[in-house]
Structure 1
Amino acid sequence: MQDMLQGYIPEQSMAQVLNLLKHDNLTVTIKKERKTRHGDYMRLPNGKHQITVNSNLNQYRFLVTLIHEIAHFEAYKAYGRFIKPHGIEWKRTFQHLMLPFLNPTIFPNDLLSLLAKHFKNPKASSDTDVNLALALKQFDRPNNKTYIFEVPIGSTFKLYNGKVFKKSQKRVKRYECIEINTGKLYLFNPNAEVELLNE
């Protein structure tokens, strides 16, 4: 397990992570990038449990995602299968598991304060916490994507699925965008990554 995780998580977190993964019936698999999620947890038909995490995540996001998924496994073991996926049992478990990692030997200081705030009430996805998502993204490898909040109003952009949108006005937190082909209105988080189209 240590060899597999080498380079994917901060070195100083390795011993603690390996300790959390000491279960005979739990496996971790590193997958190619999936656009709709960073990782997942699944109870397999044979009674074993599987966690998958995307290989393209930077080491800090990978660690948060891995602990997120371990929290699903631990919550399942402690409370059974009838709990809500991101309900109070999972939140408490995630908070408890994450606490020992929230220190400056593992995370940079500018991430620590945002993580501490996030873990007062962790969400189903760290991407919905805009400030934390933006802070985590600064450690990603460079790509040709632009954030929605950087796109000028009236400009067009494309998503990974090929759909083309035109940016409209901002609501309280999110941006209204019109899909060009259908005229439908969609709301985008400010930190959504898109490809700006030359007009």
Structure 2
Amino acid sequence: MHNTLQGYIPEHSIPQVLELLANDKLDFIVKRERKTRHGDYRKLKNGRHLITVNSNLNSYRFLITLIHEIAHFEAFQNYGQFIKPHGKEWKFTFQHLMLPFLNPKVFPIDLLPLLANHFKNPKATSDTDHILSLALKQYDDNSDKTYIFEVPRGSIFKIHNGRQFKKGNKRVKRFECIEIKTGKTYLFNPNVEIELI
């Protein structure tokens, strides 16, 4: 398992993560990129539990995602199957599991205050915390990405699946964008990666 984790998460986090994964009923698999999620947790029909995390994530996002999914497993073990997936039991578990990793041996100094703020009330995905998400994207291999907040209103762009939109006004935190093909309005987080047309 140590070899599987090496290269995916910060070196100083490996011993603690190995302890968290040391359960006979828990399987962990690194997957190819999935556009709709960074990771996944499932209880299988055979009674085992499976955690998957996308291979394309930078080491800091990979670690956060892995602990997020381990928190689902731990919350299930401790509170039972009838809890909400991202309810108070999961939040408490995620905070508790993440706390030992929030130090400069694991995360860069610039991320620590953002992580501390995020983990006061963790969300279902760190992508909804656009400040943290943008800070994490600085550590991606491909840093020449364009984000929706960077382009002017009226810009035409496409997203990962090829759908085309026109950027509109900003609401409180998100941008209204009109899909070119249907005329429907969608709300986009500021840190959505786009390709200008």
AA matched with 1:155: S
Whole-angstrom distance in 1 between the partners of 2:75 and 2:171: 36
Equivalent residue of 1:152, what SS? Answer: coil
- 140-149 vs 118-127, which moves further: 140-149
Aligned alpha-carbon RMSD (Å): 0.8
Once the two structures are superposed, residues 9-46 of structure 1 have per-residue CA deviations (whole angstroms, 9 ceiling, x without a partner) of: 00000000001111011011000000000000000000
| Deviation, structure 1 residue 143 | 5.7
How do residues 55-94 of structure 1 correspond to structure 2 at under 5 angstroms?
55-94=55-94
Preserved CA contact (<8 Å) 1:145 1:196: no
2:161 alignment counterpart: 161
| Deviation, structure 1 residue 134 | 0.4
Once the two structures are superposed, residues 37-84 of structure 1 have per-residue CA deviations (whole angstroms, 9 ceiling, x without a partner) of: 000000000000000000000000000000000000000000111000
AA matched with 1:150: E
1:8 alignment counterpart: 8
2:34 alignment counterpart: 34
Give aligned-pair identity as a percent.
Answer: 72
Question: Structure 1: where are the runs of 5+ without partners?
Answer: none
Whole-angstrom distance in 1 between the partners of 2:116 and 2:68: 15
Equivalent residue of 1:132, what SS? Answer: helix
Preserved CA contact (<8 Å) 1:158 1:165: yes
1:50 alignment counterpart: 50
2:180 alignment counterpart: 180
Misfit runs of 4+, over 4 Å:
none
Preserved CA contact (<8 Å) 1:144 1:195: no
AA matched with 1:176: E
| Deviation, structure 1 residue 144 | 5.5
AA matched with 1:139: Y
Whole-angstrom distance in 1 between the partners of 2:93 and 2:168: 40
| Deviation, structure 1 residue 145 | 3.4
How do residues 145-156 of structure 1 correspond to structure 2 at under 5 angstroms?
145-156=145-156
AA matched with 2:72: H
- 154-163 vs 69-78, which moves further: 154-163
Query: Under a length normalisation based on structure 1, what TM-score does the superposition of the two structures give?
Result: 0.97
Equivalent residue of 1:51, what SS? Answer: strand
Whole-angstrom distance in 2 between the partners of 1:36 and 1:115: 22
AA matched with 2:20: L
Preserved CA contact (<8 Å) 2:137 2:143: no
Equivalent residue of 2:111, what SS? Answer: helix
Whole-angstrom distance in 2 between the partners of 1:160 and 1:183: 19
Query: Under a length normalisation based on structure 2, what TM-score does the superposition of the two structures give?
Result: 0.98
Question: Structure 2: where are the runs of 5+ without partners?
Answer: none
Once the two structures are superposed, residues 118-163 of structure 1 have per-residue CA deviations (whole angstroms, 9 ceiling, x without a partner) of: 0000000000001100000000011663100011111100011111
Whole-angstrom distance in 2 between the partners of 1:172 and 1:69: 30
The reply to whether residue 106 of structure 1 matches residue 96 of structure 2 is no
